[in-house]
Amino acid sequence: MARPFCTAPKRTLPSSAMSPEQRQTGFTLTELLVGMSLLAAVMTIAFSMFQSSNQLVESDTSRIMAAQNAQTALDIMTNDLRQAGENLASIRLPVSGVEFNNANQKLIVRRGIAPMSAGQVGTATDLISQRPQALSVCKAIDNRVQVIGPTPAGDTPSRCLYRGVSGAGTSGDDVQVRPWRVFFASQGNAYQAALLYRPAGNGLLAAFAPVVVQTISGVSNNTDATKRVVELVLAGNVPAGFSSTNGSQIILIDQRRYWVADNQLKLAVAGEKDADAQTVAFDIDSLTLSATVTNSSTAVNALAIDGPWNRVKTIVAALKARNPSQGKANTRTFQSTIYPRNVASESR
């Protein structure tokens, strides 16, 4: 008789011997709370570091913007001051290459008109290397200076006498006026700066008056050459004290005007009006200038139109500028010392 088949009971592993796949895993509530607290702390530290870094970048950016804004403007001004007085000797008038007054934060840089180049004169090649010369004031009426033609007394002295230009293409222009007309054409007939000058004499001191020449009239039609007239039309009326009786003259000048208005540094070139001036720098608090001169141990904070230009040793220009950003305000003063290269070293 066959023996019954018996199976051995199935053995099970104790719970401590279960495989990792069979074990249940998870975080307790305490572990979760601790982890979240650590994460919050790390994020707080990271945000603080980012905020500090951002403030540093903003501060540096503001400083750079202020520096670029004012330094570029000061470089332009410094270059003009270095060239101040150039070609002034050619006009033989005692005018200063620099005029400034800290009270009104204004600076004027003057130079004489340079000899004209071939590119300026066009077909008037006989005027290459020449420049417009001073013209006599023959008569002054309202905003017109008559530089050719009879004086109020009715006579026509040689300095006011019409002298026609010989040669084709000159259209009967006057020899004294023609260089002015050619120069104006080379500047696109834009308004030009000029100076009225009255020499000392008859108990009067020498005097200057800045003016702006808008246009030059043609030669008037008159069969009598002594009656022919050419006028300069000014932007305003002729100042009092300049006439044919005291030897007054008018001369073109290369001029640049700087001033501060509405926290902007403005620049007007030649005969430009204030309204047409360009903004050289924004957020400018002040423009300060001073000069050291010979025979004086104290710097001066103003120079007049008549100098003393030939006693100037150095000029110090300073711009106080603010940054234009919305972050932390930065104010800085930019300064330059200039040694004008066109100053005569003689004392006055």
Please tell me the predicted confidence (pLDDT) of residue 171: 62
Name residue 193's beta-bridge partners.
212
pLDDT at position 37 is: 79
Check residue 83 and give its pLDDT.
93
Q: Which of 336, 256, 340 is nearest to 289 (CA)?
A: 336
pLDDT at 162: 94
208, 306 contact by CB (below 8 A): yes
* pLDDT tens, N- to C-terminus, the chain (348 residues): 455 555 555 555 455 444 555 555 566 777 777 778 788 877 877 766 655 544 444 444 444 455 568 889 999 999 999 999 999 887 778 899 999 998 899 999 999 999 999 999 999 999 999 999 999 999 999 999 999 999 999 999 999 999 988 654 456 899 999 999 999 999 999 999 999 999 998 888 899 999 999 999 999 988 898 999 999 999 999 999 999 999 999 999 999 999 999 999 999 999 999 999 999 999 899 999 999 998 888 899 999 998 888 889 999 999 998 865 555 567 889 999 999 888 854 333
Rg (CA), the chain: 39
Residue whose C-alpha is closest to residue 303's, from 107, 100, 105: 100
Give residue 167's pLDDT.
58
Strands, E assignment, 149-206: 192-198
Cα torsion through 268, 269, 273, 277, rounded to 10: -40
Question: Is the Cβ–Cβ distance between 96 and 303 less than 8 Å?
Answer: yes
Note if the bond before 239 is cis, omega within 30 degrees. no
Number of Cβ atoms within 10 Å of the Cβ of 139: 20
- Bridge partners (DSSP) of residue 106 are 101, 259
- How many CA atoms lie within 13 Å of 175's alpha carbon, on the beta-carbon side? 11
As a whole number of angstroms, the distance between CA 207 and CA 275 comes to: 27
User: Residue 347 has what pLDDT?
Assistant: 39
Q: CA 52, CA 138: separation in Å to the nearest integer?
A: 73
**Closest of 221, 218, 195, 223 to residue 208, by C-alpha:** 195
pTM: 0.77
Paired with 255 in beta bridges are: 110
What's phi and psi for 77, nearest 5 deg? -65, -40
Of the candidates 257, 261, 171, 247, the one whose C-alpha atom is nearest the C-alpha of residue 216 is: 171
Give me the pLDDT at residue 342, please. Answer: 84
pLDDT for 326 equals 54
Burial string for 113-127 (b: 16+ CB within 10 Å, else e) reads beebeeebbeebeeb
CA–CA separation, 318 and 289 (whole Å): 6
DSSP SS3 for 328: coil
Give the sign of the dihedral formed by CA 308, CA 314, CA 320, CA 321: positive
What are the residues whose beta carbons fall under 8 Å from the beta carbon of 196, sequence distance 6 or more? 137, 145, 208, 209, 210, 211, 238, 239, 242, 248, 249, 250
Q: What is the pLDDT of residue 38?
A: 81
